[in-house]
């Protein structure tokens, strides 16, 4: 079980909870990340050899493993061998939670489905992360792009006629977070009943939940929501503006009080004196004459000066940053906002912590990124294997073992 790692001077909330993770890519590992950061002992089961194929993805997938697999231990077993399956079953017998995000039926075919495992462990919470929940699409294969196209998010993100997926794996990650919420709920219920249950989370229904605000808008107003690039904003000043040094600044003025402060801070006394612009409704109606004036005013300032004025006034604003800029963001210099990890080649990397504070503390890194099978022998000893049995299985190729990040 995991050690009583502290949040301040207290154990982490899930210390003592063991999670066995059969997962790859983003959705399943992100669930394990949340549970691991909260203190659970997450044991990731990988194939013998090079481990989870996510470790070797190129291009846009190159960061998946590094981002979603800290605070986990790795064991490597051949699940298609009798020895590997026995290891997995013995491990699950000690677990509180199993998570899996493989194709429907894959683990059932190996005897590692919920109905098989709960016979020996009736308190087990078994979490399946899939493309779809129960319904007509249940057996379809899904990707983040698939559900964004099917579920309206791509339509809302791109300009009219050009659906565009969001710039991050929003459904994979949020599907993992909702799975963790379901696991926590099931663990809480188990305290009263002693019984576990099957928890299911999905990409598509998660996506539909995210666009629910647009479904509600249609129901309330009778008008369909336009794609975000073509939307009619609820506020007159809510846009990206160019600055004199070639940078860009998002600026929002969302109350009448902010409008008066904005005009004073940016020298727009004539606009402040125009009574037709005193309310947001009036400013929206006059957007065509207000925005060009504001663009000229902001465009005469460099980014630092425009941002300084916005900060002094208390306006919502943001320079347009890229992901690679965030490692140097002054707010993220706060201890614990970014966590230090080690890549397989030995280089250090700083990545986002879980966006939570508990009792004023961020959640710590207890386990660096594991090498494939790094903890096979350690976990084997915990579930009753002798060193000789482990050595024989490694020699036979049914268990794998490495040391250090890899």
Catalytic (active-site) positions: 172
Q: What distances in angstroms separate CA 333 from CA 98, 105, 342, one per listed residue? A: 35, 45, 19
Q: Quick one: which H or E segment has residue 100? A: strand 97-100
Name the one residue in this structure whose structure tokens are 């004073």.
Answer: 264
**DSSP secondary structure letter of residue 21:** E
Report how far residue 15's alpha carbon sits from residue 35's, in angstroms, rounded to the nearest whole number. Answer: 10
Task: Confirm if 169 and 144 have CB atoms less than 8 A apart.
Answer: yes
Please state, in angstroms and rounded to a whole number, the distance separating the CA atoms of residues 163 and 149. Answer: 7
Taking the C-alpha atoms of residue 250 and residue 214, their distance in angstroms, rounded to an integer, is 23
Could you give the CA distance from residue 299 to residue 301 in angstroms, rounded to a whole number? 5
Furthest-apart CA atoms within the chain: distance in Å: 86
Instruction: Identify each DSSP E strand in 203-305 by its residue range.
Output: 237-242, 248-253
* Dist. CA 291–CA 196, nearest whole Å: 58
The 97-100 sheet, strands edge to edge? 198-202, 125-130, 97-100, 18-22, 41-46, 72-77, 399-400
């Amino acid at each position: 079980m995991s050690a009583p790692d502290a949040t301040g001077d207290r154990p982490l909330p899930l210390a003592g909870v063991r999670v066995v993770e059969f997962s790859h890519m983003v959705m399943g590992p992100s669930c394990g990340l949340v549970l691991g950061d909260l203190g659970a002992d997450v044991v990731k089961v990988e194939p013998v050899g090079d481990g989870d194929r996510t470790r070797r993805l190129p291009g846009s997938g190159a960061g998946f493993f590094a981002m979603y697999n800290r605070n986990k231990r790795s064991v490597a077993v051949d699940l298609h061998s009798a020895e590997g399956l026995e290891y997995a079953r013995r491990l699950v017998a000690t677990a509180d939670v199993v998570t899996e995000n493989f194709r429907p039926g894959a683990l059932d075919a190996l005897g590692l489905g919920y109905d098989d495992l709960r016979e020996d462990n009736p308190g087990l919470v078994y979490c399946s992360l899939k493309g779809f929940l129960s319904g007509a699409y249940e057996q379809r294969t899904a990707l983040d792009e698939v559900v964004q196209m099917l579920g309206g998010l791509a339509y809302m993100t791109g300009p009219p006629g050009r659906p565009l997926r969001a710039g991050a794996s929003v459904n994979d990650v949020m599907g993992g977070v909702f799975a963790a919420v379901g696991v926590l709920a099931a663990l809480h219920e188990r305290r009263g009943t002693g019984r576990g249950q099957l928890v299911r989370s999905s990409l598509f229904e998660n996506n539909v939940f995210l666009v629910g605000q647009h479904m509600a808008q249609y129901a309330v107003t009778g008008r369909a929501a336009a794609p975000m690039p073509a939307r009619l904003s609820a506020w007159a000043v809510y846009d990206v503006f160019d600055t004199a040094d070639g940078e860009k600044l998002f600026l929002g003025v969302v109350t009448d009080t902010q409008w008066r402060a904005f005009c004073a801070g940016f020298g727009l006394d004539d606009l402040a004196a125009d009574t037709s612009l005193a309310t947001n409704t009036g400013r929206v109606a006059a957007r065509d004459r207000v925005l060009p004036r504001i663009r000229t005013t902001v465009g005469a300032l460099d980014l630092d000066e425009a941002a300084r004025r916005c900060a002094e006034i208390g306006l919502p604003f943001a320079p347009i940053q890229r992901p690679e800029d965030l490692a140097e963001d002054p707010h993220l210099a706060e201890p614990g906002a970014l966590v230090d990890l080690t890549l397989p080649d030995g280089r250090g990397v700083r990545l986002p912590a879980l966006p939570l504070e508990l009792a004023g503390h961020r959640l710590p890194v207890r386990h660096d990124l594991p090498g494939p099978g790094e903890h096979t022998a350690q976990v084997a000893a915990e579930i009753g294997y002798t060193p000789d049995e482990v050595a024989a299985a490694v020699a036979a190729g049914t268990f794998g073992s490495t040391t250090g990040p890899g």
